[in-house]
Amino acid sequence: MRCNSTGARLAVKDNIASLGSLTTCDSNILAGTAIPFDATIVSQLRSRGFSVVGKTGMDEFGMGTHSTTGARGIVRNAEPLQDFSAGGSSGGSAVSVSKGEAEIALGTDTGGSVRMPAAYTGTVGFKPSYGMLSRFGVVPYANSLDTVGLLAKTVTKIRDLLIGTKLFAEHDHNDPTSLPVSVRQRCTAQRTGYDGQARSTLRGITFGLPIEYNVEELNSSVRDGWIRAAQIVEDMGGRVVPVSLPTTRMALSAYYVIAPAEAASNLAKYDGIRYGRRNTDTDTDAPDGVLYAKTRASGFGKEVKRRILLGSYSLSSEAVDNYFIQAQKVRQLVRRDFDRVFKLSNPLRDEQPFDLSDMDESVVLENKLGPTQVDFLLCPTAPTTPPLLEEVLHQTPLDSYMNDVFTVPASLAGLPAISVPMGLASPAQDGEESKANFGGLQLIGQYWDDARLLSVAELVSRAVDTR
């Protein structure tokens, strides 16, 4: 992290504008770029007594799972886990919190980029409901998915900031995705917890365990930790039931069509003429008539170029119907599945009944009307414990993408989700002496149920963090 000042400490991801600091998205094409104003979220936190202490490393333009694709180099995890992945793409923000360099760190979460680093660094990472926090001053990756997220060592710090200071209520007219005041008030009126009152018990709260999340790639120690966390929740008075989210099996594939497509569109402006640093190594930058080919080739890293190519193809006339349009249909089905399992209705959508023919046969019906509806979903944040950096650097892109399997669905649906540290009781197996003894436990709530989610996560986190 590049340090600038001291005070009530706030670390800012390098794709969020902060006056007095460079904002480069950890990319060569934006090297030396200084945006001459604060992002709205930064100015909001400055007004609450925070002082920016530095900009943090990340995956280039937010595209990555382990914070290894940035132009400034790999983000390394905090002691004593310096050889492990810090998660991505907000790995630098998570490390700044875990090392005690900042009380709160800002990140961005497009498909898990705040929650994944939290799971890998033993910190708390919160992605609020889409449209709650302003994105003005945040360099976009995928507009329909990007969400400003918060990282801290405890849930309490995040809840005190978001709910205690009424940050959730502030609309930003500069951000077209920021929910208007009237809609915020209507949504808040349908929810509890926004008065700042914290829960003291889990009694009366029902948690769902998505059976589709028990995937083959799920590490055995993480699975055991998930089961143990569910038992702890029951011992605390909560009710735990299995639920089915049938379309989530397709969520990851849909995400990696939609996000690259939006990225290809957003990054088209970085050509060295209108935006970005121009390649001046040669007299001309127009081989074969392409004016800015060398600028984009040298300015972007491999992962960014890979996603631009994927996105450009899925938006082409030959592929748009079979890829981008189909992915958007899957996204709506993912959102529908969430709406059907939650007790609370989505305040932005009409309620739809559950089609029992879509439901897994192992899910028990609550009554003749259908299966049990829940308050929150409980699942792992990542399918593995923090992997070694040496392993990560030899992964294929597909292997890295698979790490997002549990975080992507909530992003597609725009729902609030939080990752808290989860101690793992399973002893190390042969050859696993170097594995971390913790993972991330994720709680997902219905849209705009952020206040209650944070209050419940506060209780759960204290019980399951047994490191």
Q: Which residue has the higher pLDDT, 459 or 355?
A: 459
Averaged pLDDT for residues 125-142 = 98
| Residues contacting 291, CB < 8 A, separation 6+ | 271, 273, 285
Q: Which of 146, 111, 152 is nearest to 131 (CA)?
A: 146
Per-residue model confidence (pLDDT) at position 458: 98
Amino acid identity, position 182: S
The answer to the question of residue 155 being in a domain is yes
Determine, yes or no, domain membership for 141.
yes
343-203-243-112 Cα dihedral, nearest 10 degrees:
80
Q: What is the mean pLDDT of residues 64-73?
A: 95
**Residue 130 pLDDT greater than 70, yes or no:** yes
Higher pLDDT, 421 or 83: 421
Residue 432 has pLDDT above 60, yes or no: no
pLDDT tens-place string over residues 257-286? 999 999 999 999 998 888 888 887 766 556
Structural domain span for residue 117 = 2-205+377-464
Q: Which amino acid is at 344?
A: L
pLDDT of residue 351: 67
The three-point CA angle 319-325-331 to 5° equals 135
Mean pLDDT of 298-310: 96
Residues designated as active site: 13, 89, 113
3-class SS of residue 148 = strand
165 within domain boundaries: yes
Q: Looking at the predicted structure, is the pLDDT value of residue 301 above 50?
A: yes
67 domain-assigned? yes
Pairing of strands 124-127, 147-152: antiparallel
Residue 67 has pLDDT above 50, yes or no: yes
Closest CA to 165 of 452, 460, 451, 429: 451
The span from the CA of 243 to the CA of 223, in Å, is 16
Rg (CA), the chain: 21
Closest CA to 440 of 103, 69, 112: 112
Q: In CATH, what number is assigned to the domain containing residue 84?
A: 3.90.1300.10
Using the predicted structure, report yes or no on whether residue 293 has a pLDDT greater than 90. no
Percentages helix, strand, coil for the chain (3-state, rounded to 5) are: 35, 15, 50
Task: Tell whether the model's pLDDT for residue 31 goes beyond 60.
Answer: yes
Helix (H, G, I), strand (E, B) or coil at 427: coil
Query: What percent of the chain lies above the pLDDT cut of 70?
Result: 90
Q: Which residues of 158-186 are buried (b: 16+ CB within 10 A; e: fewer)?
A: bbbbbbebebbebbbeebebbbeeeebee
Q: Measured between alpha carbons, how far is 118 from 287 in angstroms, rounded to an integer?
A: 44
Residue 445 lies in a domain: yes
- pLDDT-derived band at 371 (thresholds 50, 70, 90) equals confident
CA 382: distance to chain centroid? 11
Residue range 309-318: mean pLDDT, rounded? 96
Pick the more confident residue, 367 or 129.
129
DSSP for residue 88: S
- Output the average pLDDT for the chain: 91
Percent of all residues in the chain with a pLDDT value above 90, rounded to a whole number: 81
Q: What is the pLDDT averaged over residues 379-388?
A: 95
Q: Which amino acid is at 196?
A: G
Is residue 120 one of the residues assigned to a domain? yes
Cβ–Cβ < 8 Å for 164, 290: no
- pLDDT the model gives residue 428: 46
What pLDDT does residue 282 have?
66
In whole angstroms, what is the distance from residue 362 CA to residue 358 CA? 12
Q: Model confidence at 1, in pLDDT bands (50, 70, 90)? A: low
Does residue 297 lie in a domain region? Answer: no
Across 413-441, b (16+ Cβ under 10 Å) vs e yields bbbbbbbbbbbbebeeeeeeeebbbbbbb
Has residue 265 been placed in a domain? no
pLDDT value, residue 430 = 42
- pLDDT over 80 at 298, yes or no: yes
Number of domains in the chain: 1
Give the pLDDT confidence score for residue 8 in this predicted structure: 87
